[in-house]
Amino acid sequence: MKLPPFLAGTLLVLGLLMPLALHAQPSEQQRLVDRARVVVDDFRGDPNFRHVAVYVQNAYGVVVVPNLVEGGFIIGGRYGVGVLLARDPQTGAWSDPVFVTLAGATVGLQIGGKASDMLITIMNEAAVNKLLEQGLKLGADASAAVGPVGGSIGAGTTVNFGEDVYVFSRNVGLFAGLTLDGTAIVPKSDWNTAYYGRKVRPKEIIAGKVANPAAAPLREALAAF
């Protein structure tokens, strides 16, 4: 059946545009980077976490994990995929993201389940380097504590950072108790390869040997603290 000229033309245009539309869809990695930016903005805008700024400003690295899932009864576990950004010690600028997984078994008073947007500040260079080289296990490779919520700590306040790592969590759901020891943060090599277009070591990303301009909004969000 012969189509009317206007309909044939419309179908032709749609056929040409469809591959472009499909190609324009953000990758799984980019969607995570975009969600991480939203998480950073949420922490920065939440009055209960106004003290986070002084931790981020003094951190050597920050891990952002959108929607970390935890669940179980007495014995459970946690798992999430996030990004690590490190600060250039000379310029203070934040690096492009290194994709990481965060996982671990949990034992203790845990009843119910929750999803958490998590922001983790790493307060010394040695802990950042260990994470990049072989992964970081909280409680074994680095001391960790839950960051304070509320209070009067603000930007510019002198704080004694006694731990290697501080964890800030915005929870949704019921979960009694938050344990950190045994949680491992490990680079996610396949996602780093996909995002940067070639096999790349985490330290190359931090050093600026590769870059993805689409990560700029996330870097800018951290710089706004």
Residue pLDDT, tens place only, 203-215: 999 999 999 999 9
In the prediction, which pLDDT does 147 show?
84
In the prediction, which pLDDT does 99 show?
98
In the prediction, which pLDDT does 19 show?
45
Name the helix (H) or strand (E) containing 195.
Answer: helix 189-196
Which amino acid, one-letter code, is at 137? K
Q: What is the mean pLDDT of the chain?
A: 81
Sign of CA dihedral 148, 63, 96, 91: positive
Q: Are 182 and 104 in contact (CB under 8 A)?
A: yes
**How far is 26 from 148, CA to CA, in rounded Å?**
35
pLDDT-above-90 percentage for the chain = 54
Name the range with the highest mean pLDDT among 9-18, 32-41, 138-147, 167-176: 32-41
Domain coordinates of the chain in residue numbers?
Answer: 27-223
Neighbours of 167 (CB within 10 A): 21
Q: What angle do CA 74, 76, 77 make, to 5 degrees?
A: 155
Q: Residues with Cβ < 8 Å from 110, sequence gap 6 or more? A: 70, 72, 73, 74, 75, 76, 175, 176, 177, 179
C-alpha distance from residue 74 to each of 5, 16, 69, 143 (Å):
68, 56, 16, 23
Summarize pLDDT for 36-82 with one digit per residue, the tens. Answer: 999 999 999 999 898 899 999 999 999 999 987 655 444 456 678 99
Q: Are 79 and 88 in contact (CB under 8 A)?
A: no
Indicate the pTM of the whole model.
0.80
